[in-house]
Chain A
Amino acid sequence: MRLDGWRIDGFGGLAGWQVEALARHELIVVCGPNESGKSTLREFIATAYFGFAPAQRELNPFAPADGRFGGALQLVDDAGERLSIERELRSAPRGRVYRATTHDDLANRPLPALAGISRPVYMDLHSLGLDDLLRVDSSTWQSVEDRLLAGSALAFLRSAADVRRGLDEEAAALWRPDRRGQPEARRLRERISGLRAVEREAAAARRRLDDIDVELTAEREREEHLRRTGSALVARLRRHTDLAPALAAWRDVERLRAEAAAILPRDDDFPGDPADAVDRRRAEAADAERAATAARRHADHLQALADVPDTVRLLADRAGQLRELAAEEAGTADLRVAMATAEAAVKARRAEADRRADAVLGRPLEPDDRAALDAVRTADLRAAVTAAAVPVRRSPSYIAAAAALVSALLAVAGVGGRTLPALAAVALAGVAALIARSTAPRRTGPSVAAAVGRLAVAPSRLAMPDAALVADIDGLHAAAAESDAAAAELHRLRTMAGTRATRLQEALRQLGLTSAGQALQAVDDALIRVAEARKAGEQLSQTIADADRLAGAAVAAAGRRDALLIKLQAVRPGDGLDAAVSAVLTARRLRTAADERLRSANAAFGDVATIAAEAAEDEQNGTPLLLDDAALAQLDAERAANATALEELQHRRGALVSERHGVASLPGVADAAGEAAVYEERLAAAEYRRDRLAMASSILLRAERQFRERHGPSFLTAASAYLSTITGGRYERLLIAEHSGTEPPRLEVVRDGRPVPVGAPLSRGTLEQIYVALRLALVDEVDPNRLLPLFLDEALVNWDDDRVDGLLPLLSALQGRQALFTTCHPAMAARLGAIGAAVIATPDLPRLPAHVA
């Protein structure tokens, strides 16, 4: 790549400066005074290559106050093709590269042919100012070295050092072998350590919790014991204070009861007023006795009434019979009348029967006729009689003949006509026929004789049997029956009269009575007596029961009376009833007083009996309820000590409870352990990641060294050759003594066979020559093919003539790479022009840059 010219429309203080036809020159010198635009030209060329930086016109220090900001740079590439880079910065940067037939838009991008060379590298290697000649910028060095020494100049790869630096930074952020910084692993370890401490604390707390619970249980038991003891002491004191009156009362009660018992040992069950009670019981006994006696008497009376003599009872038992017999006797006259009547009736009936027998039989009725008479069947007889009665049956034939005649007459007389006499004749003939037929003899039924059977009916009557016969026989039958009935009635009456007389006589005989009248009177008396006895008997059982009950009551009343008397006499044996009653009343008064005392004491102190019993038990147990002063003082001291101990214990317990609450509120073991486990995982991951990054960095470093070893010698050889050429062989070789990390290399030069560190002992000119040599070698490595022109801005100002002379053969050694020098010394320009350099004078500055203006 060769520089052929430029056209600066406006850039810094330069404007309207155009130069052409430089491509054929190896060396170009721009000469001009200070501030004439030489350094501005350097920036213009860099801008043409890489674009505006910054790309905002108002920020760019080379932007003119007005007018176009930019220009064009003409180049000839390695193939001999011309190209022109046009750049202009208006509101936005514009860029275009023109070739013979084509052009490409660049916008603000670098020229594509410069790929792999960044603007800083270019500015530090290809385009040097005076200040750049004392060193190589560390970042430039690193970048260049990476590309040249460790990886060749591949545009698509990042600097291995950059990558390692990134890896190392990332690794260091995760873990560091030293104590510097606060890497992730340290923070995690601290966190884990904290959590493990929490876990240990939690575990200890959990165990402490158990211990506290045990202690609390013991404390609770101790507290309970102290409370019980304290309560017992207080209770004892209180009992002493509170219950002493109760005990005094109880003792009064006991005294009164003892006095009463001395008089009357047993409980008083005497009536309220014993004397009055004695009187009352005596009266009650007497009354009961009287009532019992009366009742007994009444019972005896009723008993006497109830006892009826057998004779009276017999009379009463047979009263009905006797009365009936007497009645029968009284009714005998009537019976006689009836018998007389019956006898008359018998006679009358018998006469009637005989009369009727005479009509039928032709004689009086005989006893033997009765059966025959009863055997006659009236119906059969009537039939037989009817059959036998002929004269009576002829009368209808006359009547029939008369009727026929009358009919015929009626027919002739009433109708007239010739046919009627015939019809009348026929009718009469019929009637005659009928009459004739009816009057013809007929057969008879049963005979009358047979019908009357064995009844000896008078033959005359049989000869002319008729209805009268039948009626007579019926009448005879009825009369015979009535005659028999009358005879039967008379017989009955006579039998009855005989029976009655016999029975009456027998009864009277049995009762020793003589007459029926006497018997009736005796019966009445007996019935009255029996009625009285029944009534007495009905009352008797109740009366006897009442008598028995009253007798019992009398006995009981007497018993009560006697018991009271005996009981009273036992109180004061031999002292009489009044003394006994007085003693009872005295004892009673004492007991009443005791009870009253007890009631009031109970009301005041509770159950004083129980209190007394407990006191007695306490006494037996050695803790007497009533205390003397010494005992009271000791008890009070014990109580105070107990209260103090209890207070201390409660205080301790409160502290334990508080501690327990605090311990229980701590995070749990599992909580801390679980969190710590996660952080441990993260720590392991961080450490692994860090080691991985460190391994990657280490591998890159090793790979880099391999390349350094492979490419380093040629680079240093080239730099040494350049240096030797420039210094006329004074300095033989350039070495890299040491290089690590991001620091620039420590260089050494060999002079007279000995290495000399590149630094202060060397002159400025020598240092500049060393770095020029180094840059030329670097440029060769970085840019072996594109041969970008070098730009050395006032680079030779500190060089002596010999060194400048030495530079000339060096330039010939650049193998086609152009070099553009600027100088403010016309002599230097002339010197270079003498050896074939194109010398260009800077134009007058037509205007000032915007930021200067």
Chain B
Amino acid sequence: MDKQAQKNFSRDLRQNEFSDKQLAIVAHPLLRQAFAEIQAEAQEGSAGSSFGEGGP
């Protein structure tokens, strides 16, 4: 495995490879909020909307 394969710019937390306990050690509120939203997204099985017409 080369270095590029070992490191990534992003990581898909929807794969549930990380437990709540692991993520809970992150202190920043905006990151905790993001993790919670991604977990909710994974549970909903929703890919969310992606409109772009100035939609709310």
Are A and B bound to each other?
no
Contacts from A to B (Cβ < 8 Å): none
B binding-site residues for A, Cβ under 8 Å: none
